[in-house]
Amino acid sequence: MLITDDFLPVPVPESLSATYLVPTAGLPAVSARTAVRGLAGRLAEPVHGLARQMLDSPLMSVDVRPIGEFPALPPDLLTAFGAQEAQLDRLADASHLVVVQAEYRPGWPPAHEWAARAVAAAVAEAVGGDVVDVFGLQFLDPGAALRSLPDAQGRVRLVDWILVPYSSDAEGLWFTTKGLRRFGLLELQTQGVPDHLTRAWGAVMTGAARRLLRDWTDGLAGDEVPAFVQLPVLATVTGHDIAVAYGNPEQHGATPPVLLRLELDPATDPEADSFLSLRPPAGHPGPAGRYFATACATLFAGIQPDVRYARSGDAMSRAVATARAGLGDIRARFRTGHLPPETQLVVKYGLPGDDGPEYVWATVLTWDTPERITGASASDANTDPTVRIGSPVVIETTDVVDWAVLDGTGVTEGGWTQAVLDAGNPSDRPA
């Protein structure tokens, strides 16, 4: 095996397995084969055929067991990963579990996961029940589970297969992925992420997972399963990687790539997991958190500072008026948690300058009173050396000229002034 400073050898497991459960009140009235046949015409090939073939092979087993014979599922963890009260109630009332298990070699396609999820979803749909993904400790609605499987073009959304939980420690936020082991790859982690990058870094981790999973499966494409796959030490992540991972490839922007250094962090405890850590490139000056903030600013381009300002009556003035008219509503939605999942709210505000105001963006952290916003700068200001990426800022709402809601692909709502700037209207530039 060739080992160089440019590549990191990552061990490959001999085989992979998937386990899905369908809780039922009493014995199920339908067999797995009958349920899967009922998906004909609804489930794209090759997944439908794959599920039927694996059902008839020793690679898959479907058993019905009294629920007491299966280890109890922890309700606190299920809740942490999104379980609803009604789903937990149905689990508590269940007398039996349909246990779907499958094994397959590492590589693409991940036949064990696709086939096991398809069979479990078919059974759950037939009995009006839920799917429990044992690996992710998640409840899945049968319809959502079926939609997560490849479409007719073989496309899947990686966000349907991995989670990116995080926790806080003295150095900042600790992010991990949960789901790459489905495909045989070690999970990713990043430590020391600034608190204000909660949603943005989750999207970056998802994009990085997509890029590394592609390299991983390329290394497994041969007839024989290798002992190691060599992954690039300097992993690149682009806006396209993030957009594809979220299932919106047509929405990606032409953002420059961001480099992240990949390091193997082996577990010291035999019972614990090893990780692939994402860190700034070697030689990067300053704290890692600043690099992560810069990476987010690069990947979510379109939220950039500018020194252009509006004149009365032009398109920019109308954009500012539109944005300001919606401040009350967006504040209410932010405070009540009614923004879409995996999004963040940013505002644009003016800093005084000799040639007119400089407008910069900041991530909203708190907005307790209508008059004042506490945030973290999303960019370095030209006119104020204290305003740097990630630095805390206090913003008077009267200075706000725009706001936007961002997800992993960019602006999903708002951003009226940026739309005017991107259109290149000459009247919106200073004389």
> Does any domain span residue 8?
no
Residue 405 β-bridge partners: 345, 413
Judge whether 392 and 235 are in contact, CB under 8 Å.
no
Name the DSSP class of 378. S
Peptide bond into 109 cis (omega under 30): yes
146 and 256 in a common domain: no
The torsion of the CA quartet 333, 335, 336, 337, rounded to 10 degrees, works out to 80
Residue 420 β-bridge partners: none
356 and 224 in a common domain: no
pTM comes to 0.71
Mark which of 98, 127, 156 sits at the end of a domain.
156
> Does any domain span residue 428?
no
133 and 106 in a common domain: yes
> Does any domain span residue 2?
no
63 and 145 in a common domain: yes
> Does any domain span residue 399?
yes
292 and 335 in a common domain: no
Question: Which residues neighbour 415 within 8 Å (Cβ) at sequence distance 6 or greater?
Answer: 302, 303, 402, 403, 404
Could you list the pLDDT tens digit for every one of the 431 residues in the chain? 444 468 999 999 999 999 999 999 999 989 999 999 999 888 888 899 999 999 999 999 999 999 999 999 988 889 988 888 999 999 999 999 999 999 999 999 999 999 999 999 999 999 999 999 999 999 999 999 999 999 888 889 899 999 999 898 778 899 999 999 999 999 999 999 988 788 789 889 999 999 999 999 999 998 899 999 999 999 999 888 888 888 876 555 556 789 999 999 988 887 778 999 999 998 888 889 989 988 888 887 655 444 444 343 467 778 888 999 999 999 999 998 888 887 889 999 988 766 667 888 888 988 988 889 988 887 777 777 778 777 788 898 988 999 999 876 678 899 888 777 766 533 332 22
Mark which of 156, 180, 199 sits at the end of a domain.
156
> Does any domain span residue 74?
yes
Cα 316 from Cα 314, distance rounded (Å):
6
Nearest to 45 by CA among 159, 185, 152: 152
> Does any domain span residue 9?
no
187 and 294 in a common domain: yes
Mark which of 123, 156, 189 sits at the end of a domain.
156
294 and 165 in a common domain: yes
391 and 405 in a common domain: yes
139 and 175 in a common domain: no
Counting the structural domains of the chain, the total is 3
Pull the structure tokens for residue 41.
Answer: 């015409």
164 and 152 in a common domain: no
116 and 97 in a common domain: yes
285 and 222 in a common domain: yes
182: left (phi over 0), alpha (psi -120 to 50) or beta: alpha
Pull the structure tokens for residue 297.
Answer: 């600013």
> Does any domain span residue 318?
yes
> Does any domain span residue 1?
no
Pull the structure tokens for residue 63.
Answer: 């058993």
How far from 363 is each of 354, 373, 385, CA to CA, in Å? Answer: 25, 10, 18
Domain, as residue range, for 59: 14-156
